[in-house]
Chain A
C-alpha cells in the first residue's frame, strides 16, 4: 500500500506494517495506513477494535511491536483527546490552558480570541476550565490544537454523551478547518451512526484493516457488512456538509432508506 517515497505524494504520517502487541495479544495487526495533506480520514470499528491504540501509536505515545510510524518532518500534530477531566482543585483558566500549548512567547492575545471564535467558543478566555461544559471543552481542546498551527489533526471523538446536532456542527467546523489550515485530519469515530460526508476515506478497523474507501463504498463493502451486520451498515449515516450554509447548530443527519 505504501508508495516507494510516500512524501512525494504529500503523505504526512504513515503506519508502515504496524503491529502492536500487549501481553501476547495483538491489538493492531499489520496496519498500513497513510494520511495525506488536506485529507480527512475517518476511523470506525467496533469496541475493542484498537482505534485508541492506533491513535496512540500514530501520536508516538505507544511504540509498535513491529513495523514503524513514519512522518514528514517537521510534523506538528494537533491532538484532540476524547475529553479532559480536570482535577477539581486545579485552578486554571481557559487562557492558561490554551497558552500552555505554546512554549514560545509569541502567543498573541488576538490569536487566542480569534481561534476561540473560530471554534465557536468565544468569550470563554477567563472562565475557569473546571466550569466549562462538555461541549465547550471539546471546542477549547480543538482551539488548543489549532494554536499549534498543526500540519495534522488527530481527533478522538467522545464515546458517549454526544448530541447529534452538536456533533454535526463540529463536523462542519472540522471540514472548514481542513480547508483553512490545509491539514490532514484523522478522526476516530466511536459513533457508527454518523460519518461526516466530507470524509475522503473511511477506514474500518477490527485490529486489522478490514476495508477502506469513500463512505458509500465502505457501507456496501462485504467486510463492513459482516462486521456490523446489514443493520449496522444501513444505519451508517453520512452527514453531508453543505459549504454554503450558515454555521449554526442545525446540521442535519442524512438517513438513507433501504
Chain B
C-alpha cells in the first residue's frame, strides 16, 4: 500500500472515531445547522489566519469558538437561535472568507481543497494533531457525557437535579469547534457536518442505548472513510465527496434494513 493512502486511512479513521459520539450529540440536539454554521465560519478563520500569518488550526479554532460563543449568548438572551440567524452567520462568514482569500494578493491557496478537503495529502504532523486533539476531546466528552444527556432528555429536570447547564454547553461547543477545526482538513468545510451527522443518523436505528449509538456511529464513520478512500483511489474521484457518498450509502442501507 502506498504510504499516502495509509496516512489518509489513519487520519480519516481518527476523525471518524471522534465524530461518532460528538455527531450523536449534534443529532440529539438538532444542531445540524448549527454545526454547518460553525464549519462555514471556519473559512473565515482560514482567511484571517493566512492574512495575519497565524497557525491555521489555531485561527480556525478561534473563529469557531467565537461563533459558538455568539450563538450561545443569543440563546441565553432568550433570542432563540433561529434558522435565519444561523444561516446569516454561515453564509456571511463563508462569503467574507472567500472575499478575503481572493482579494488579498499575497494569499495563494487552493480554495477547492478547503471546501472539499484533501485527505490524500495529509501529513504525519496532521495525524499527530488529530491523535492529540482527538483523544483530548474524547476524554473531556466522557466527563460531560452524563450531564449533557440529562439536559438533552429534559432540560428543566436536569437543571433541578443540579446540572450546570452553561458550563456543560460551553465545553460541548468548544469540543465541537475543535472537532470541526481538525476534520475540515479531511473532508472540507462543505462536507464536515456530514461526517458528524450521517454516521450518527445511521446508528440511531440500531442502538439500544446512547453509548451503543456512539459506538455504531464510530463504526459507520470508519467504514465510510475506508470505503470512500478506496473508491477515490479506484476511480480517481475526489476523496472528501467519496467518503460522504459512502456514508450516505451506509445510511440508506441502514434505513432500508430497519424499515418498519
Is the Cβ of B210 less than 8 Å from the Cβ of A91?
A: yes
* CB neighbours of A87 from chain B (8 A): 28-30, 152
> For chains A and B in complex, what number of residue pairs have CB atoms within 8 angstroms?
61
A84 to B212, CA, bound (A): 22
Interface positions, chain A 74-126, Cβ under 8 Å from B, are: 77, 79, 81, 84, 86-87, 89-93, 96-97, 100-101, 103
A93 to B207, CA, bound (A): 11
Is the Cβ of B154 less than 8 Å from the Cβ of A90?
A: no
- Chain A residue at smallest Cβ distance from B159: A61
Given A81-B154, A91-B209, A96-B210, 8 new contacts (CB under 8 A): A77-B160, A79-B157, A79-B160, A90-B28, A90-B210, A91-B207, A91-B208, A93-B209
Smallest CB-CB A-B distances: 10 pairs: A89-B204, A91-B207, A79-B160, A90-B28, A87-B28, A84-B154, A89-B27, A100-B150, A59-B160, A91-B213
* CB neighbours of A103 from chain B (8 A): 161
Residue in contact with B160 in the complex, picked from A61, A86, A129, CB distance below 8 Å: A61
B164 within 8 A of A: no
* CB neighbours of A144 from chain B (8 A): 157
Is the Cβ of A100 less than 8 Å from the Cβ of B209?
A: no
* CB neighbours of B210 from chain A (8 A): 90-92, 96
Is the Cβ of A92 less than 8 Å from the Cβ of B160?
A: no
Interface positions, chain B 22-37, Cβ under 8 Å from A, are: 27-30
- Chain B residue at smallest Cβ distance from A85: B154
Residue in contact with A100 in the complex, picked from B27, B149, B156, B212, CB distance below 8 Å: B149
- Chain B residue at smallest Cβ distance from A148: B161
* CB neighbours of A79 from chain B (8 A): 156-157, 160
A59 to B161, CA, bound (A): 10
Is the Cβ of B28 less than 8 Å from the Cβ of A100?
A: no
Q: Which of A81, A84, A91, A93 has the most chain B CB atoms inside 10 A of its CB?
A: A91
Is the Cβ of A101 less than 8 Å from the Cβ of B208?
A: no
A97 to B159, CA, bound (A): 15
A96 to B211, CA, bound (A): 11
User: A194-209 vs B: 1/0 string, CB under 8 Å?
Assistant: 0000000000000000
User: B192-220 vs A: 1/0 string, CB under 8 Å?
Assistant: 00000000110010011110110000000
A144 to B158, CA, bound (A): 12
Interface positions, chain A 54-88, Cβ under 8 Å from B, are: 56, 59-61, 77, 79, 81, 84, 86-87
A216 to B250, CA, bound (A): 64
Binding site for A on B (CB under 8 A): 27-30, 146, 149-150, 152-154, 156-157, 159-161, 200-201, 204, 207-210, 212-213
Give 7 CB contacts A-B under 8 Å: A61-B156, A84-B157, A86-B153, A87-B28, A90-B152, A93-B208, A100-B161
Contacts A91-B212, A92-B209 given: A81-B157 contact, CB under 8 Å? Answer: yes
Interface of A is mostly: loop
Q: How far is the CB of B241 from the nearest CB of chain A, in Å?
A: 25
A97 to B157, CA, bound (A): 11
Q: How far is the CB of A140 from the nearest CB of chain B, in Å?
A: 11
- Chain A residue at smallest Cβ distance from B207: A91
* CB neighbours of A96 from chain B (8 A): 209-210
Is the Cβ of B204 less than 8 Å from the Cβ of A91?
A: yes
A129 to B209, CA, bound (A): 11
A103 to B146, CA, bound (A): 10
A33 to B156, CA, bound (A): 22
- Chain A residue at smallest Cβ distance from B201: A89
* CB neighbours of B29 from chain A (8 A): 87
A84 to B154, CA, bound (A): 7
Q: How far is the CB of B173 from the nearest CB of chain A, in Å?
A: 18
A90 to B212, CA, bound (A): 11
Is the Cβ of B153 less than 8 Å from the Cβ of A92?
A: yes
Is the Cβ of A84 less than 8 Å from the Cβ of B208?
A: no
Contacts A89-B201, A91-B208 given: A100-B160 contact, CB under 8 Å? Answer: no
Q: How far is the CB of B159 from the nearest CB of chain A, in Å?
A: 6
- Chain A residue at smallest Cβ distance from B213: A91
Q: How far is the CB of B22 from the nearest CB of chain A, in Å?
A: 14
Is the Cβ of A81 less than 8 Å from the Cβ of B156?
A: yes
* CB neighbours of B204 from chain A (8 A): 89, 91
Q: How far is the CB of A225 from the nearest CB of chain B, in Å?
A: 34
A90 to B30, CA, bound (A): 11
* CB neighbours of B146 from chain A (8 A): 100
Q: How far is the CB of B200 from the nearest CB of chain A, in Å?
A: 8
Is the Cβ of B153 less than 8 Å from the Cβ of A59?
A: no
User: A153-183 vs B: 1/0 string, CB under 8 Å?
Assistant: 0000000000000000000000000000000
A89 to B159, CA, bound (A): 22
A189 to B205, CA, bound (A): 38
A84 to B207, CA, bound (A): 21
- Chain A residue at smallest Cβ distance from B27: A89
* CB neighbours of A61 from chain B (8 A): 156, 159-160
